[in-house]
Each structure stands twice: as structure tokens, then as C-alpha cells.
Amino acid sequence: MKNFQSLSEIRSEIADGKLSVSLLVKHYLKQIEDMNGRLNAFLSVYADEALRQSHSIDRKIKNGTAGKLAGMVVGIKDVFAYKDHRLQCASNILQGFQSQYTATSIQRLINEDAIIIGHQNCDEFAMGSSNENSAFGPAKNPINEEHVPGGSSGGSAVAVASDMCQVSIGSDTGGSVRQPAAFCGTIGLKPTYSRISRHGLAAYASSFDTVGILGKTVEDIALVLEVMSGADEYDSTVSQQPVPRFTEALKNNKYKVAYLSETLEHPSLNYEIKDQLNDVLEDLKSDGHQVAEAHISMLDYLLPTYYVLTAAEASSNLSRYDGVRYGVRNEGGNLESMYKKTRSKNLGVEVKRRIMTGTFVLSASYYDAYYTKAQRVRRMIRDETISILEQYDFIISPTTPTTAFKIGEMKEDPMQMYLEDLYTVQANVTGIPAISIPIGFDNQGLPIGVQLMSKSFNEADLLDISKQIITFKDQKR
């Protein structure tokens, strides 16, 4: 069977009688069977369940009672709670854990007749930029299996890029949806912080974590965003703002787009990415958009701010993994050593590194110098970003400074790995929405992504401009 570009294509084939949801599920299951052994994108596949659901959705389509997402087959990152299914955050410490409730975001997909086909590989507790920090081994980049798919939502990007599902639901704390999307050549959206309920998303850094969407078309992403967004009784931080009809947002408007010269001049930026970004700027101009240079003074402080605050929150969020109520336990004689053995033996190196960093910056003697300092700088970064977005509709930048690197290449130097998030963390530090869209390939054939950021709660325009860039890229091809 051929691969499908979008849900609307799937729905029209179903309407024409050429396709059914059950055939579609079988197709994805076949894809997974063929490729997952190599790519390691899925950690669990819910084949029987998906097939069962597909029959009932086929009936609903016939009866005209199907939901908006009937025909949408979705994979979810291993950080989302889905009742009576595994939830392990790609960590040994949650071995055997079965969730006893379903995340609000996932439940809303199910309510609209999406099918959840499985849980996807990622970096342990979503901490990483390469998917190498998974207790289940790295997912592989489908374009070149020697390369990483990016992270932390690596498996989610791989699954979309290799047609193992139509869309994936990931989480984005510092670029974890956009960076793997860029590395694998898919679209990745990080909505505004608080746009989608976090209830059921295992927390990494609560004031940064955002549910994100990876897909092949802007339309699919708009639809899934529309379904998942909005007020939720369980999450007091989720926005009460009305959710626009994102599917009707693709209006072909003309916009003012800013690029930040400091980001394009950054020494770590790969020249091919820079060239292709410049091409996009030219295309935008010739398409009637305004493109202008703007400046950011806080660029060098983004990553340190991000790492201080996320590590601090992570150190606290991960305290619950203590071997008492769930997960695994390593006995050690007394309570204290049970805690230490359980946590030390079952949490990975990177996770422990961040817990240590976070515990350190929160401890009484260093709190003001690091934690409070970073909170103050965060405000400055946010204010500067907002003021740029008062003059321009979007900030455009590369999604990543490099294309997908080789597995193991950065293992020795975590600080080098952190630089991968240079462009993506700004949206998380400030809470604004951002999207990565594929714009081409480097000389090794590895995908290149471009990132656009907009004002908070303006995903609609972000989707509109993304659609336009993708359209003229397609026309050129």
C-alpha cells in the first residue's frame, strides 16, 4: 500500500471506498513490523487493540457518526499516560509500570476517534537531544541509520518520517519536538506554553513542558492541535483562552518576518543550514512578505538560563521515582540506602547529571546565585522576545545549528550536545509557540529544518506561514 500524506487524503480514499481504517491500521502495523526492528521507534505496539478499534471506527464512518480524527493513526511518546498501558519514560526506574489514567491530550484524540497505535522511544524522561539516553537504546534516523533522529521525541519523529503512523504526539521542553522533526524531515509544532493540558504528561520541567505534535502536513497538525487544546479540569495552569479553528487558519496572509542576525552569525551554525535559511528569506520576500533583520542581546544567556531552571524543576519532579509506590526497587538494608540504590541503579547518566545540577542550584547556599538569577534573566529574555514580536509577526531561525549527527558522536561531551538546543530553547524559556518545518537537505542528504516563532497563542498565523513556506518549497522542487 502507498503512504499517505495527510488525513484528508486518507478520508477521501475511505469515502471513495478504496480504503478502510482497518486496512490503514494493517498498513501501519506492517510498516512497523518491517522497520521497527532497525529504527527502534516504537517501544510498545498495540496491534490487536488498534485493529479492534479500526473496525468500530469503520462502522462509525459508515453511519456518519465518526469523530474528526477518524482515520488518524497516532503514536505517542513514552511520557504520556494511557490507561492500562505501559508508561516508562524510556527509563529503567519505571519498569513494568502501567498507567491507571489517560492524559487529557491523549483522551481528546481518542474521543475524536484517533487510534493510538503504540508508545514511542525517546530520551529518558525527555532529557536529551539525540534519543541516545533511552533505556531501550537509541532510535535511528530513517534517512541514515548511523545518525541520530534527534531528541528527545526521537522515536516520534522517526515513526512519522518512516510512515509507521500519521502523526506523533511528543513533548517539547527545550526543542524536543522541533529538533527531531528537523533531523528527520517532518513538521514539529510546539504550541504556546499552557495551550494543551499537561495532565498525564510525565513532568520533566513543569514551567517549560509543552505537548507537541509531529506530522507530515500543516493541516494534520492544525487539526490535532485544535482537538487537544483548551481548558482542562485537572490542570490549573492550562489556558482558558478559546481555541481557534486552526484548520481554518490557513489564509495565505502576508506577514512581517524578522531574522536575528546574532543567530545567523553564531559560530556553531552549519553553513549549509545558513544558506538554505537565506534562500527561504529570499522566497518569503519574493512572495510579498516583509523580511527584516532584528537583534537579540540575550542569545548567549538562553542555554544557561534554560539549563539552570529545567535542571532545578527536574530534580524535584523526579523525586517521586523512589521505589515506594511504583516502579522498581533495589533493597539496601535501610530506607535511605533503598532510596539511593533504587535511584542510582535505575536512572540513566544524563538524568542523574541533571538531578545533581538541579539539586545543587536549589540548595540554600547557591539558590540566589543560580536559581533566582536564572529566573530574573528569564524575565529579561521574555521581555526582549516579546518586544521583537511586537514589531514582527515571526522570528525565523534555523531549528538546529547542525543536521543529524552520528550516533555516539557527542556522547563524550554533554555540553556540546546542549548546544544543539541553541535555537529551540528560546520558545520554551519565553513560553511562545514555535514550529519547525523541513526546507531541504544537506550534502549528505540529511534534512534541514527552519524554525518560526510567534507571539503567545498565535499558532494560527504560525501554521499559515508554515503552509506557505512548504508550498513554495514544493513548487520549486
Of 134, 152, 162, 194, which is the active-site residue? 152
Dihedral pair phi/psi, residue 473, rounded to 5°? -65, -45
**For residues 103 and 250, which CB has a smaller minimum distance to other proteins in the complex?**
103
Sites for other proteins among residues 221-240 (CB under 8 A): 233-240
**For residues 68 and 353, which CB has a smaller minimum distance to other proteins in the complex?**
353
> Is 359 an interacting residue with respect to other proteins (CB under 8 A)?
yes
**For residues 323 and 401, which CB has a smaller minimum distance to other proteins in the complex?**
323
**Window of 60-68, 287-295, 310-318, 463-471 that interacts with other proteins by CB under 8 A:** 310-318
> Is 44 an interacting residue with respect to other proteins (CB under 8 A)?
no
> Is 310 an interacting residue with respect to other proteins (CB under 8 A)?
no
How buried is 44 (Cβ within 10 angstroms: 0-12 exposed, 13-18 middle, 19+ buried)?
Answer: middle
> Is 198 an interacting residue with respect to other proteins (CB under 8 A)?
yes
> Is 329 an interacting residue with respect to other proteins (CB under 8 A)?
yes
**For residues 367 and 472, which CB has a smaller minimum distance to other proteins in the complex?**
367
Judge contact between 233 and 261, C-beta under 8 A: no
Among 46, 259, 371, 423, binds other proteins (CB under 8 A): 371
Judge contact between 369 and 304, C-beta under 8 A: no
Sites for other proteins among residues 10-29 (CB under 8 A): none
Minimum distance, C-beta of residue 387 to other proteins, in the bound complex (Å): 15
Q: How far apart are the first and last CA of the chain?
A: 25
Among 294, 328, 388, 470, binds other proteins (CB under 8 A): 328
Sites for other proteins among residues 120-149 (CB under 8 A): none
CB neighbour list of residue 473: distance below 8 Å, 6 or more residues apart: 283, 439, 440
Q: What is the C-alpha to C-alpha distance for residues 107 and 410, in angstroms, rounded to an integer? A: 37
> Is 376 an interacting residue with respect to other proteins (CB under 8 A)?
yes
Sites for other proteins among residues 339-358 (CB under 8 A): 339-341, 343-344, 347, 352-353, 355-357
Residue 219 C-alpha cell reads as 493541516
**For residues 136 and 193, which CB has a smaller minimum distance to other proteins in the complex?**
193
User: Is 387 one of the catalytic residues?
Assistant: no
Minimum distance, C-beta of residue 38 to other proteins, in the bound complex (Å): 29
> Is 400 an interacting residue with respect to other proteins (CB under 8 A)?
no
Dihedral sign computed on CA atoms, order 293, 295, 299, 305: negative
CB neighbour list of residue 430: distance below 8 Å, 6 or more residues apart: 381, 382, 385, 386
The footprint of other proteins on this chain (CB under 8 A) covers a number of residues equal to 99
User: Is 77 one of the catalytic residues?
Assistant: yes
**Window of 88-96, 133-141, 212-220, 397-405 that interacts with other proteins by CB under 8 A:** 88-96
**For residues 198 and 473, which CB has a smaller minimum distance to other proteins in the complex?**
198
Minimum distance, C-beta of residue 328 to other proteins, in the bound complex (Å): 6
**Window of 5-13, 95-103, 264-272, 399-407 that interacts with other proteins by CB under 8 A:** 95-103
Q: What is the C-alpha to C-alpha distance for residues 428 and 171, in angstroms, rounded to an integer? A: 11
Please give the angle made by the CA atoms of 81, 82 and 84, to the nearest 5 degrees: 120
Minimum distance, C-beta of residue 365 to other proteins, in the bound complex (Å): 8
**For residues 77 and 147, which CB has a smaller minimum distance to other proteins in the complex?**
77
Minimum distance, C-beta of residue 389 to other proteins, in the bound complex (Å): 16
> Is 244 an interacting residue with respect to other proteins (CB under 8 A)?
no
Among 36, 194, 217, 468, binds other proteins (CB under 8 A): 194
**Window of 48-56, 145-153, 302-310, 468-476 that interacts with other proteins by CB under 8 A:** 302-310
**For residues 237 and 286, which CB has a smaller minimum distance to other proteins in the complex?**
237
Among 199, 216, 289, 455, binds other proteins (CB under 8 A): 199
User: Is 152 one of the catalytic residues?
Assistant: yes
Of 6, 54, 77, 456, which is the active-site residue? 77
Among 23, 31, 301, 409, binds other proteins (CB under 8 A): 301
CA atoms within 13 A on the CB side of 410: 21
Sites for other proteins among residues 415-454 (CB under 8 A): 415, 431
Measured CA to CA in angstroms, residue 470 lies from 216, 280, 302, 445 at distances of 11, 10, 29, 18
Sites for other proteins among residues 281-300 (CB under 8 A): 298, 300
**For residues 287 and 384, which CB has a smaller minimum distance to other proteins in the complex?**
384
For residue 470, the tally of other CB atoms under 10 A from its CB is 16
Of 91, 176, 436, 456, which is the active-site residue? 176
Q: Which residues are catalytic?
A: 77, 152, 176
